């Protein structure tokens, strides 16, 4: 797989990545195209893609929190026909390597749904296989009904993070993402 990262809006690339994104997340559970484009225009996100030939088979949207030196994983998706073959873990290896060695991050964080279900337990197991640790804190947003927990991985240290602290980073990112231009 060919791994690439972009910080600029690329309509052609996004159309390819968008097919994977929409195949993995229901409409109510994903950011829309206009919002994502706005995030690129404001320089607050990165698009990671993995290709086989010209076909995007996996994608991720991330954001850097420079002050915390953390990479926030907003979305990661693997094309349906590529799932179950280690592609997701390979993608996470690439992201981690880039975050640690090129972006000079101290770690990565992702939020996972806190509700007890088989689907959520499977997601948590995936993240644990990728080296992430689940925090105990359950976060409630005012704008969505689901509750969430943070998972993190530290690079080269045994540092642990409190879930509340991690949600400060995540919430700061969400607030920037949804902020209207010029405000």
pLDDT digits (tens, 9 = 90+) for 28-73: 888 899 999 999 999 999 999 999 999 999 999 999 999 899 999 9
Percent of the chain topping pLDDT 90:
73
C-alpha closest to that of 137 among 116, 109, 167, 159: 167
pLDDT over 80 at 91, yes or no: yes
Which pLDDT score is estimated for 175? 87
Per-residue pLDDT at 180 exceeds 70: no
Mean pLDDT, residues 94-104 taken together: 96
* Per-residue confidence (pLDDT) for residue 183, from 0 to 100: 46
Mean pLDDT of 97-122: 94
pLDDT at 12: 95
Q: What is the average pLDDT across 135-163? A: 87
Identify the structural domains of the chain with CATH numbers, from first to last. Answer: 2-178 (3.40.630.30)
Instruction: Tell me which of 16 and 80 has the higher pLDDT.
Output: 16
Terminal Cα distance for the chain, rounded: 40
Q: What is the structure's pLDDT at 47?
A: 98
User: pLDDT band at 100, cuts 50/70/90?
Assistant: very high
Q: What is the mean pLDDT of residues 99-117?
A: 94
Better-predicted residue by pLDDT, 18 or 25 = 18
Instruction: Average the pLDDT over 79-87 and give the result.
Output: 90
Per-residue model confidence (pLDDT) at position 57: 96
Average pLDDT, the chain: 91
pLDDT > 70 in the chain, percent = 98
| Confidence class for position 181, pLDDT limits 50, 70, 90 | low
């Amino acid at each position: 797989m060919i791994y690439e990262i972009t910080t600029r809006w690329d309509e052609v690339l996004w159309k390819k990545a968008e097919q994977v994104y929409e195949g993995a997340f229901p409409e109510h559970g994903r950011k829309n195209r206009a919002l994502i484009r706005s995030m690129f225009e404001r320089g607050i996100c990165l698009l990671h893609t993995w290709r086989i030939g010209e076909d995007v088979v996996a994608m991720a949207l991330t954001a850097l929190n420079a002050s915390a030196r953390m990479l926030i994983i907003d979305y990661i998706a693997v094309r349906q026909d590529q799932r179950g073959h280690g592609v997701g873990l390979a993608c996470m290896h690439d992201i981690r390597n880039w975050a640690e060695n090129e972006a000079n991050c101290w770690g990565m964080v992702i939020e996972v749904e806190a509700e007890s279900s088989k689907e959520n337990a499977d997601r948590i197991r995936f993240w644990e296989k990728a080296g992430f640790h689940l925090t105990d804190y359950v976060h409630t947003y005012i704008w969505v009904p689901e509750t969430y927990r943070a998972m993190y991985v530290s690079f080269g240290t045994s540092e642990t993070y409190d879930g509340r602290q991690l949600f400060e980073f995540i919430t700061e990112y969400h607030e920037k993402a949804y902020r209207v231009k010029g405000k």
